[in-house]
């Protein structure tokens, strides 16, 4: 489903049309990843969620290198000892603030951020 990089998205930030609960916060441990499905602009998308303390960041689960998912199995993401998200396909490494690729075949490119927020003990699409 997520083969190929979407060309309809013109920048690195995906607008979210509606607030939708994605996951209960207690299911996402600090420093861990989760994969969830969400509808963005009418299309079902796989998202990477990453919890950093009280904050959760989200990106499309599409690697900028070759458009593959980053998880090696659904919801199973690699994290290096340096705290980078590593794409399971060819090893691109992404820092976890902006989603920038800092090593590997797509160095200098970025994951596409998705706007999420934390409230009422859950992670929601949008603000």
Which of 65, 109, 111, 114 is in the footprint of ligand FES by CB under 6 A? 65
Minimum CB separation from ligand FES for residue 82, in Å?
Answer: 17
Q: Pattern of binders to ligand FES over 77-116, x per CB under 6 A?
A: ----------x-xxxx-----------xx-----------
Number of neighbouring beta carbons within 10 Å of residue 108: 8
Number of neighbouring beta carbons within 10 Å of residue 6: 15
- Dist CA 33 CA 108 (whole Å): 22
Angular region, 108: left φ>0, alpha ψ -120 to 50, beta rest: left
Minimum CB separation from ligand FES for residue 75, in Å?
Answer: 17
- Dist CA 28 CA 63 (whole Å): 22
Minimum CB separation from ligand FES for residue 94, in Å?
Answer: 9
**Which is closer to ligand FES, CB of 57 or CB of 68?**
68
Q: Does position 119 bind ligand FES by CB under 6 A? A: no
Angular region, 12: left φ>0, alpha ψ -120 to 50, beta rest: alpha
Q: Does position 66 bind ligand FES by CB under 6 A? A: yes
Residues found near ligand FES in the complex (CB under 6 A): 63, 65-66, 68, 87, 89-92, 104-105
């Amino acid at each position: 489903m997520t083969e190929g990089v979407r060309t309809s998205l013109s920048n690195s930030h995906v607008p979210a049309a509606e607030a939708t609960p994605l996951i209960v916060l207690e299911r996402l441990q600090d420093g861990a990843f989760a994969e969830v499905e969400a509808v963005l602009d009418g299309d079902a998308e796989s998202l990477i969620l990453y919890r950093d303390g009280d904050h959760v960041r989200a990106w499309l689960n599409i690697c900028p290198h070759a458009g593959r998912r980053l998880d090696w199995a659904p919801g199973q993401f690699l994290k290096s000892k340096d705290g980078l998200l590593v794409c399971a396909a060819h090893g691109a490494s992404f820092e976890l603030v902006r989603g920038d690729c800092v090593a590997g075949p797509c160095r200098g490119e970025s994951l596409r951020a998705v706007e999420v927020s934390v409230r009422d003990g859950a992670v929601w699409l949008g603000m």
